[in-house]
Amino acid sequence: MTQRSTIYFASIAHCLSDPWVDGASALGYIKNGYLKVTDGLIDSSGAEADLSRDELEQCDQVDYRAYTITPGFIDGHLHYPQTGVIASYGAQLLEWLEKYTFPAESKFSDEAYANDVANWFIKELLKNGTTSAFVYATIHKQSVDAIFNAALSANMRLASGKVMMDRNCPEFLRDTAASSYEDSQQLIDKWHRKNRLLYAVTPRFAPTSTEEQLKLASQLYHENEGVYLQSHVAENKAEIQWVADLYPGFRSYLDVYDHFGLLGEKSIYGHCIYLDDADITRMADSGTVAAFCPTSNLFLGSGLFDLVTARSRNVRTTLATDVGGGTSFSMLRTASEAYKVTQMAGNTVTSLQLFYEMTLGGATALSIDDQVGSLAEGKEADFVVHDLQATDVLAQRVALAEDIEEQLFALIILGDDRSTVATHLMGERVYARP
Ligand code: GUN
Ligand code: ZN
């Protein structure tokens, strides 16, 4: 039986390639265009005027003509159990973890509570146009079940994993090297590659793991085909000194992870602010991914990640909210702060480079670009419908814009969940602006 298709009428904007390499020609833009979706996958896109009468008659039609469709946004690093920690006052990283984060994460031993927060969290991502995310859970197995169940119900492409943490944290949040290994393996067997879900082995960061636990994390990473590894590195100066004290003899913080075999193309490290020259070379050579979390780095006073240097040194990068250290679920707001942080380093990124980081670039870094990140034929139809007239400030700025790049820049700097008209996963509309 042939599947009926849906045609969405809208302006269409997505990256065809990497604008850091190809400049403006990386953008595919069709004003007065259409996107055709069949069986959850992108079938084609083009100019509305080029659609034949036959094709129109055979398809369902949705009028988004007043709006612009882009690929769904990709958030490369955030913590769903920190939903309630967002906007916690006055502390830098290590104090913030003790004072706010660990107590909040302890509540996720309660399965019903974890389910409630996970469902709310997925809705909030979709409301902000985020369609793929790499999400930390807590040390509790049930917290991982909760976020995967919520993502499964929404049919979302999402990675998560149980936090592994066997020292230097409160007793009520501590596992053991052996139990973290067993729990993680059971969760991998249960969830990895179920529908659109992916497992990420998640040692929180070097200070909260014994060497034995890092060794076992590496085993999980290497023994299970296709799983990811996510952690934190070089975020805060006191944290770096702590790692130097806990792991004497290592050349650097990154070198600790390298020693245990925790770098690689499926390894994603949050922050990466204070990497030295040798670390940057090692990140690039190993294909390890840096997650740039500008709102978090500003909020916690951690420091300024230099995206332009990272990219010019061939480090793979993804943009990320890092909720709840980060202050917004919106990848538009996150990209806006990324622009400002990069300005502080004396560099200027283009609107297209920012747009790439939140779509195809993030997907490429996270090795999900075969499935998502652009609106190319055959990809999963995860897309967002944006209203460039959503607020008075945005509307007047877009009216003055000379081209689509300037319009996208205005959307990035001024847009947020108010500009998200609808979000679609595998073609299905899963969020509609009230
Ligand atoms: N380093 C270790 N854990 C965390 C966390 O939860 N948030 C941030 N921002 N940094 C961390
Ligand atoms: Zn984080």
pLDDT per residue as tens digits for the range 59-117 = 999 999 999 999 999 999 999 999 999 999 999 999 999 999 999 999 999 999 999 99
- In short, whether 207's Cβ falls inside 6 Å of ligand 1 is no
Assess whether the C-beta atom of 296 lies below 6 angstroms from ligand 1: yes
Q: Are 111 and 148 in contact (CB under 8 A)?
A: no
The residues pairing with 71 across neighbouring beta strands, listed in sequence order, are: 383
Q: Residue 312 has which token pair?
A: 């010019």
Task: Say what the pLDDT of residue 25 is.
Answer: 98
Q: What percent of the chain has pLDDT over 70?
A: 100
Q: Backbone phi, then psi, for 173, in 5-degree steps? A: -120, 20
* Residue 1 pLDDT class (50, 70, 90 cuts): low
Average pLDDT for 205-216: 98
In angstroms, what CA-CA distances link 113 with 21, 71, 118, 139, 175?
A: 46, 32, 9, 15, 20
The alpha carbon of 318 and the centre of ligand 2 are apart by a number of angstroms equal to 13
- Tell me the ligand closest to 236's alpha carbon: 1
With the most atoms of ligand 1 within 8 angstroms of its CB, the residue from 204, 242, 268, 272 to mutate is: 204
Which structural domains are found in the chain, ordered by start?
6-72+372-432 (2.30.40.10), 73-329 (3.20.20.140)
Work out the average pLDDT over 26-49.
98
pLDDT score, position 2: 61
Q: pLDDT-based confidence at 4, cuts 50/70/90? A: confident
pLDDT of residue 320: 99
Residue nearest to atom 3 of ligand 1 (CA): 204
Q: Is the CB of 322 under 6 A from ligand 1?
A: yes
Q: Which residues pair with 73 in a beta bridge?
A: 130
Q: Which of 337, 332, 335 is nearest to 415 (CA)?
A: 332
8 A C-beta contact, residue 160 and residue 147: yes
Q: How far apart are CA 152 and CA 268, in angstroms?
A: 23
**DSSP string across 365-424:** HTT-TTTSSS--TTSB--EEEE-TTSSHHHHHHHHH-SSHHHHHHHHHHH-SGGGEEEEE
Q: 325 CB less than 6 Å from ligand 1?
A: yes
Residues near 290 by beta carbon (within 8 Å), at least 6 away in sequence: 269, 271, 272, 283, 305, 310, 315, 316, 317, 318
Locate the ligand 1 atom nearest the alpha carbon of residue 82 and give its number: 6
Q: Which atom of ligand 1 is nearest to the CA of 324?
A: 7
Helix axes 211-223, 177-191, angle to 10 degrees: 20
pLDDT in tens, 330-377: 999 999 999 999 999 999 999 999 999 999 999 999 999 999 999 999
d(CA 205, CA 220) in angstroms, rounded, equals 16
Count of Cβ atoms closer than 10 Å to residue 155 Cβ? 17
User: Is the separation of the CB atoms in 420 and 127 below 8 Å?
Assistant: yes
Nearest-CA residue for ligand 1 atom 9 is 325
